[in-house]
Amino acid sequence: MCSSDLDPANPHAHVIAANALLALGRTDEAIAAAAAAISVAPAWAVGYRMHASALNTLRIKSVQAIESATEAVRLEPTTAAGYSILAAAYANHRDFSAADRAIRQAIRLRPNDADCWVTASYIALRAKSWIPAETAALRALQLRPGDPRAINNLGVATRGRGRWGLGAVAFLDAAKIDPRSPSATTNVEVIGFQYLSTVALFFLLPLL
C-alpha cells in the first residue's frame, strides 16, 4: 500500500496509508504518506501527529519529530496525544526535562489513557529510571490489560532492576501477544542469550 493508491486530495487517506505502512514496518513510506497529509491539510493536527509518530520510530529523526509534534500541539493544545508524541520525540532527543513536562501535560489531560502511561514508561526507560518506568508500565496495564508495549516496557524495567526472571516472562508475553514487534522479539533473543551465557559460565567455572 502507498498513499498514492488512495485519494491524493484527501488527508485522511494519507494518514490511513501512513498508519498501515507503519504497521508493516515501512517507515520511510509512512513518513512520506504523513508528509503528504500535511501538504494537503497544513492546519490539520492529525497529519502532524502521524508524521511525528512515524519519525519517532527513527531516533535519528528526533529533531523533525519534535517540530511536527510541536505543531500538532500548537494546533490542538488540549489533545493529550500530541503531548504524548512530543514527549517521546524529546526522549529520543535525550531532552528528558522537556519530555517529562510534555508527558505530564498529556497525563493531566487524560489521566486514564493507557497510551500516555506507555509513553511515560518509555521516557523513563530512555532515562534508565527503572522504578518510574515499571510504575508507569504497570499503570498502563491496569488501564489496558495485555498491552504488548506496556508488557515489553515492564520487562525492560524489571531487567534493569536486576529482576531477570520477571523481565523474561514479560518479554515472552509481549512477543506472544505481538510476534511482529521487533523490540519484543529482540528482547526475548537477548535475554535468552544472556541466560545461556550464564549457564555456560556456571559449567565452565570448575574447569578454569
- Percent of the chain beyond pLDDT 90? 62
Each residue's pLDDT tens digit, 135-163: 999 999 899 988 888 888 888 888 888 76
Closest CA to 122 of 99, 141, 101, 146: 99
pLDDT at position 155: 83
pLDDT at position 49: 98
Give the residue ranges of the chain where pLDDT is below 50: 1, 3, 167-168, 170-171, 174-175, 177, 184-208
